[in-house]
Chain A
Amino acid sequence: MSEREITCQELVELVTEYLDDSLPPDRRLLFEEHLAFCSACGTYLEQMRLTIRLTGTLREDDLDPIARDSMLAVLRGFAR
């Protein structure tokens, strides 16, 4: 006997576990079965994926040249 299916409200709470690949196999199966027929949850999952990707773009900021110079100055103090 398999577990009952999961609702949309339950699915949105499992997204991080799903994306981290840490859902137990039976839960993962229910999650994927739900996605197969629910386009609203498909949209939600895609938006969470995009949120993660967009958050990652914050990494692309450059080091401010003044801060960079003062960091190098400290390190150069140790040149031998």
Chain B
Amino acid sequence: MELVRALRAGEEAAFSQLVDTFGRSMLRVASLYVRDRAVAEEVVQEVWIGVMRGIDRFEGRASLRTWLFSILVNTAKTRGAREARSVPFAALGDDAVQPAVPEDRFLADGTAWPGHWTNGPAQWGAPLDRLLSRETRDVIAGAIDRLPEMQRRVVSLRDVEGWSSGEVCNVLEISETNQRVLLHRARSRLREAIERSAIEGND
């Protein structure tokens, strides 16, 4: 609430604190609704204006962070809907029926051990510090970009922004079960993308 008081007072330090605490994350979240980077920046600017106009009425029932992101998501949604190619909405998408691991990696029914690995997952040869490099980050960012829309939103909010499953369900208006299915598919795809790059990295 100290930050809220300082914002009401129009203190410069409060503005920097607000931007440095939330700015980067707000831009990323806006990008989940509007793909164009310049438009995402405009969305965030609109949010700052809405926040400053509404700050006197902010009662602190929700946290400042929750309030900010609910304004952000509403603004980004409206903007995204205006620009969206009209894709039919499917909560889970076709990819939801894909298994986490291709079924040919497991022994078939009728064998001695149906459902057990034919070959287990290969060890990732690359050491952790290499996996933590810029290169792996680019691999993951690229793989997230190629995910179906709802998977991209769920995994970005959960695993990039670090939101709880409850927060993600609220904001995306999906059930706990759908959230988990989407997250599971998305993480499985990201694991595959890292695997491809980590194993190539063995040579």
A80 engages B48 (CB within 8 Å): no
Q: A51-B191, A62-B24, A76-B12 are in contact. Are A67 and B41 (CB under 8 A)?
A: yes
Report the separation of the CA atoms of residues A55 and B143 in the bound assembly, to the nearest whole angstrom.
10
With A9-B103, A16-B187, A59-B162 given, is the CB distance from A75 to B52 under 8 Å?
yes
**Contact residues of B: prevailing secondary structure:** helix
Interface residues of A (CB under 8 A from B): 7-10, 12-13, 15-17, 20, 22, 39-41, 43-44, 47-48, 50-52, 54-59, 61-63, 67-68, 70-72, 74-76, 78-80
How far apart are A48's CB and chain B's nearest CB, in angstroms? 6
Interface centre among A40, A54, A78, A80 (most CB of B within 10 A): A54
Binary interface encoding of chain B residues 146-176 relative to chain A, with 1 for a CB under 8 A from any of its CBs, else 0: 0000000001000111100100000000000
**20 cross-chain CB contacts under 8 A:** A8-B106, A8-B115, A9-B99, A9-B101, A22-B180, A44-B121, A54-B140, A55-B187, A56-B162, A58-B140, A61-B24, A70-B45, A71-B44, A72-B16, A72-B19, A75-B18, A78-B52, A79-B10, A79-B12, A80-B9
**Interface presence of B131 (CB below 8 A):** yes
Report the bound CA distance from A54 to B160 in whole Å.
Answer: 9
A-B contact count (CB 8 A): 132
Expressed in whole angstroms, the Cα–Cα distance for A26 and B41 within the complex equals 48
In the complex, the answer to whether A63 meets B184 with C-beta atoms within 8 Å is no
**Could you tell me the distance between the alpha carbons of A9 and B104 in the complex, rounded to whole angstroms?**
10
| Assembled-state Cα–Cα distance A57/B113 (Å) | 38
- CB contact under 8 A between A7 and B160, given known A58-B137, A78-B52: no
Which residues 181-203 of B have a CB within 8 angstroms of A?
183-184, 187-188, 190-191, 194-195
**Which among B49, B106, B116, B161 is the interface contact of A74 at CB below 8 angstroms?**
B49
Q: Which residues of B are found within 8 Å of A78, using beta-carbon distances? A: 10, 52
Counting chain B CB atoms within 10 Å of each CB, the highest count among A12, A48, A58, A71 belongs to A71
